[in-house]
Each structure stands twice: as C-alpha cells, then as structure tokens.
Amino acid sequence: MTPDELARKILSLATDISQKKTGFLVQGGLFLEGLMKQRIFNDGKATSGSKIGKYKSKSWKKTRSELGFQTGYVDLQFTGDLIGSIQVVEDGGDVYLAIINDKDFDKAKGNEERRKKIIFDPSKSERTETEIYISELIDIELERLIAKL
C-alpha cells in the first residue's frame, strides 16, 4: 500500500467515526438514562447518593400501599409519567437527556425544591460511567475500522 492509499484509508476512517458520533452520543445518553432512572425511581436516591426522603403523610403511605407501591422511601414513582418523560433527545447532532414536557419538568423541579436536593442531574459516577461506556463504543468501532486497513 502506498502512502497516499494509506492516507486515504485513514481519512476514510476519520470520516466514518465522525459520522457515527451522534450515534455514540445517543447510545451514551440511553446508558445514562438507565443509570439515572435506576438511582431515582428504583433506589430513591438524589444526585448526591442520599435518599430523596421518606413518605411522611399517613394517607399517602396508605394510598401507595393499597395500590401495591413501596412506602419505605420516596422513589417518585406513582403514575409513571415522570419516569417516562425523561428521554434522550437528538437535535441537529447534539444529544440531550431531557424531561420532554413542561408538566413533568415542573414536577421534577418541585420535588427538588420541596426536598431541598438535586435529584435530576447526573452524579459524578454516572457521568464517569457514561464517558467510559462511550469510549468503549468508540474503541470497538476503531478496532473494527482499523482491521479493514
């Protein structure tokens, strides 16, 4: 292979990776979404890792219990609307994890204000895990493309 042919192949590899950037970010966003939903809605934890809180109202605990929901700690699950509204959104190559409607955004912010805790921001470990995940995706793709050389 001549140096010019190698240069063309390397340029082609760079183009392939660049074109797949949004896909890697979407996959990373979905990974982060899963981590955050697990923390918030299953484990009942704020961004700091502390519990979101405890249910204090006896009538609310009774209602939750009668409907089969746990009452040991706040997990922000009841109708399923809030958990369902947290989604990965792609806009012109940019990727966001967002609460996609105003009603649920207000519900999320209201919970943070009422409980005086940040809940809906990713934690440092969630960010780190997501960065590692995306890096691994890119490494796998690079290995696949380099094998074509």
Place of tokens 């380099």: 146
Q: What percent of the chain is predicted at pLDDT more than 90?
A: 77
Query: Is 12 within a domain?
Result: no
DSSP string over 16-65: HHHHHHHHHHHHHHHHHHHHHHIIIIIS-B-TTSSB------HHHHHHHH
Query: Is 132 within a domain?
Result: yes
Query: Is 114 within a domain?
Result: yes
Range of the domain at 125: 20-142
Query: Is 40 within a domain?
Result: yes
Block means of pLDDT (10 residues each) for the chain, length 149 residues? 79 78 94 98 97 95 96 95 96 93 97 97 98 94 80
Query: What predicted TM-score, i.e. pTM, was given to this entire model?
Result: 0.87
Query: Is 46 within a domain?
Result: yes
Query: Is 110 within a domain?
Result: yes
Residue 149 pLDDT: 67
Query: Is 118 within a domain?
Result: yes
Query: Is 82 within a domain?
Result: yes
